[in-house]
């Protein structure tokens, strides 16, 4: 079986991948995630998902026959892209902006085969309907979840669920970091067996 690498330092993505009967290592891709001028959100997520996989594929410690799983995520609202807030002040501003509104999250996935150079890329769309969030609710959430490394300042796998009225997606795992339904399909196409 090919070595499997998760191109991420995200604990949420690692927990999701742990759901599958796989042995894998984690390597952070360390790339520039800046949006290019005029780049649409969908193109940005696809580009960064592939770029993270390629960055890890090019690292000396990556086995030449590895199968790399990479991803990227952003929130898209009112024509603006929201990534990881980086600090609590930015996180608060994001949540104040999202309060009472429908926000689209784009969760990118790339499976890259170092042996063949073949890669598959997919983006899952999740619509998150936020509750009306007063300052007290936002401050409580930020204090307990500290989502500064989460796109759109939400940790759905934790207390982020308290911020939402409704979530619609074809993949219930996508908002937590990996579109798992498509991941299983991609891995099977690369010869990984789940039976």
Q: Which residues are catalytic?
A: 72
Give the DSSP H/E element, type plus range, for residue 186: helix 180-189
**Rg of the chain on CA atoms, in Å:** 17
Write the CA distances from 191 to 1, 4, 162, 182, 184, integer angstroms. Answer: 8, 12, 39, 14, 11
Token pair, residue 167, equals: 């979530």
Q: What is the DSSP string of 117-134?
A: --EEEEEEEEEEEEPP--
């Amino acid at each position: 079986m090919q070595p499997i690498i998760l191109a991420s330092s995200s604990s949420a993505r690692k927990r999701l991948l742990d759901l599958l009967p796989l042995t894998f290592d984690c390597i952070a891709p360390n790339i520039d995630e800046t949006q290019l001028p005029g780049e649409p959100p969908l193109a940005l997520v696809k580009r960064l998902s592939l770029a993270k996989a390629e960055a890890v594929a090019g690292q000396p410690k990556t086995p030449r026959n590895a199968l790399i799983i990479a991803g990227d995520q952003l929130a898209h609202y009112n024509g603006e892209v929201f990534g990881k807030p980086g600090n609590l002040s930015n996180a608060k501003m994001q949540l104040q902006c999202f309060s009472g509104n429908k926000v689209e999250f784009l969760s990118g996935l790339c499976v890259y085969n170092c042996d063949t150079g073949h890669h598959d890329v997919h983006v899952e769309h999740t619509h998150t309907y936020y509750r009306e969030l007063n300052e007290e609710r936002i401050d409580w959430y930020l204090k307990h979840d500290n989502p500064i490394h989460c796109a759109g300042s939400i940790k759905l796998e934790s207390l982020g669920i308290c911020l939402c009225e409704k979530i619609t997606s074809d993949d219930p795992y996508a908002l937590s970091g990996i579109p798992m339904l498509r991941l299983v399909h991609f891995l099977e196409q690369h010869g990984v067996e789940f039976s």
